[in-house]
Amino acid sequence: MKIKHCEWCDSQFESDISYQIYCSVSCREQATKEKIAARYALARRAKRMGKKKLCKSCGQPISVYNDFDLCQACDINPIDVAKALRQIKGISNGKDIPE
Ligand SMILES: [Zn+2]
Ligand SMILES: [Zn+2]
């Protein structure tokens, strides 16, 4: 038997298994959870740093901190869009655009 120190809680335990680094199942589970969380946080950060976000409308790169999918130039007021659509419809119908 060899005396080992648990990688998680640092308590001593005896084991003949060379790859056993945790004293108990719960220590191993907690350490695993921690590792996964750390890796997940790192991956998320890397994604934010490395990935460029592109405008859905014109394809221009936009800030990753912009939560919308459009650049400032394309991110127009929805009321303006509705008005423009109404005008286009009015023209295609051959009618006068009501003011
Ligand atoms: Zn332990
Ligand atoms: Zn755009």
Per-residue pLDDT tens digits for 37-74 = 999 888 888 777 767 788 888 888 887 777 778 887 88
pLDDT of residue 31: 96
Question: Minimum-distance ligand to the CA of 25?
Answer: 1
* Local structure of residue 51 (DSSP, 8 states): P
29 CA → ligand 2 middle, Å: 46
% of the chain beyond a pLDDT of 90 = 35
8 CA → ligand 1 middle, Å: 5
pLDDT of residue 97: 55
Does this model's pTM top 0.85? My answer is no
Bridge-based pairing state of the strands 2-5 and 61-62: unpaired
Q: Which two tokens stand for residue 95?
A: 């009618």
Buried b (16+ CB within 10 A) or exposed e, 19-36: eebbbeeebbeebeeeee
